């Protein structure tokens, strides 16, 4: 029962984040839609900077750990950026249609 509650909470957080990204991406200011992806990028940098890597660790192992953390932490940023670009493209298309309609009326 407890696991189901945690899963439902995670689904709600995920859906809320996507909804918030769609709302922010549809705003007139393009910077609003870039806030959430930027937060995830900053979190990935913070996580990498806070890694306890011993000096005796092999270079290849360190590079693979850092790259995997950056990739995993930036998956949400990539998803949110794709939502951002889709919404901005639709906004641009709607504005062009509105301009054409106004020109047709005149």
Per residue in 41-60, pLDDT (tens digit) is 999 999 999 988 888 889 89
Residue 10 has what pLDDT?
94
Q: In which element (H, E) is residue 40 found?
A: helix 35-49
pTM over 0.85: no
Residue 106 has what pLDDT?
65
Per residue in 59-96, pLDDT (tens digit) is 898 899 899 999 999 999 999 999 999 999 888 877 77
**Can you say whether the dihedral through the CA atoms of 32, 37, 43, 46 is positive or negative?**
negative
Instruction: State the chain's maximal CA–CA distance in angstroms.
Output: 74
Residue 92 has what pLDDT?
81
Residue with tokens 């192992």: 61
Whole-number Å distance between alpha carbons of 70 and 36: 16
């Amino acid at each position: 029962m407890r696991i189901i509650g945690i899963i439902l909470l995670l689904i709600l957080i995920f859906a809320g984040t996507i909804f918030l990204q769609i709302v922010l991406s549809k705003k007139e200011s393009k910077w609003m839609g870039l806030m959430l992806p930027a937060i995830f990028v900053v979190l990935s940098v913070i996580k990498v900077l806070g890694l306890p890597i011993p000096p005796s660790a092999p270079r290849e192992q360190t590079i693979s750990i850092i790259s995997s953390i950056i990739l995993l932490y930036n998956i949400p940023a990539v998803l949110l950026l794709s939502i951002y670009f889709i919404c901005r493209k639709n906004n641009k298309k709607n504005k062009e249609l509105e301009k054409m309609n106004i020109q047709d009326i005149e």
